[in-house]
Amino acid sequence: MRRRKNKVLSLASAQIGKAIDIVSELEKAVAASAEGRKDEAEKSIERLFLVEEEIDNLRRAVFEELARGEMEPGPREDIMHLVKRLDVMADCVKDSARDVKILKDSNIPSEIRETCVNIARGLVDCSVNLRGSIERLGDNPEIARDFSRKVDLAEHRIDEEYLKARSLFLKYSTKLDPATLLILKDLVDAMEQVADISTDTADYVRILAAGEEKAS
């Protein structure tokens, strides 16, 4: 049972590794778009879409392992929730990338572009710390919890940038056409949702860490 659990956690770690890859590609796409490097933004988005398919495959592999029924129901359910959240997070990153793709030719104020870049960079911090928490879950639950707390701190900084973005939408509402404003709102909403899902996943890591300590 312990070997099975470690294998599942290893697959989940690979999944978060791929999640970091797509978050990093999103950050590159947002930054390149903000600086007018449209071709680079497009290439990052294309790579992001490919990696998102790999995340789907890893999710299926985790579920296949869990379906064997060789783990206790509690930990199995917690890991299932964790993996599902990672999959939903990848979907939100993909939605964000679609919005970046649509907006690449739009005339967007530099203040808004800068704020979107800050949010994307914050998402990279979230995902890197989330990976650290999952990787240390099997051998050091306390360190896993420490990483999960860093996810919460990064998400708090993203929330501040998110609120700033919404205030900027109001500031520039007369200079942006309604369609562009709507897609910009979708973009920051999707990125903010990625941050929220990261903290939800970190919560599951803390639950699993508590179970690991109890079992040891």
pLDDT at 214: 63
Architecture of domain 2-215: Up-down Bundle (1.20)
Yes or no: say if 78 and 7 are a contact pair by the CB < 8 Å rule: no
pLDDT at 69: 64
pLDDT at 96: 96
pLDDT at 26: 96
**What are the domain boundaries of the chain?**
2-215
Nearest to 125 by CA among 55, 195, 33: 195
Nearest to 30 by CA among 129, 102, 126, 88: 102
Separation between Cα atoms, residue 178 and residue 7, nearest integer Å: 49
Q: Give phi and psi for 140, each to the nearest 5.
A: -150, 85
Separation between Cα atoms, residue 130 and residue 202, nearest integer Å: 6
Please report, for residues 42, 100, 139, 190, the alpha-carbon distance to residue 113 in angstroms, rounded to integers and kept in the order given: 17, 11, 41, 15
- Rounded to the nearest 10 degrees, how much is the dihedral formed by the CA atoms of 154, 18, 208, 4? -170
pLDDT at 70: 66
pLDDT at 174: 92
pLDDT at 61: 85
pLDDT (tens digit, 0 to 9) for every residue of the chain, 216 residues total?
A: 667 677 777 787 788 788 889 999 999 999 999 999 999 999 999 999 999 888 888 888 888 877 776 667 777 787 787 788 888 888 999 999 999 999 988 999 999 999 999 999 999 999 999 888 888 877 888 999 999 999 999 999 999 999 999 999 999 999 999 999 999 999 999 999 999 999 988 888 888 788 766 665
pLDDT at 119: 97
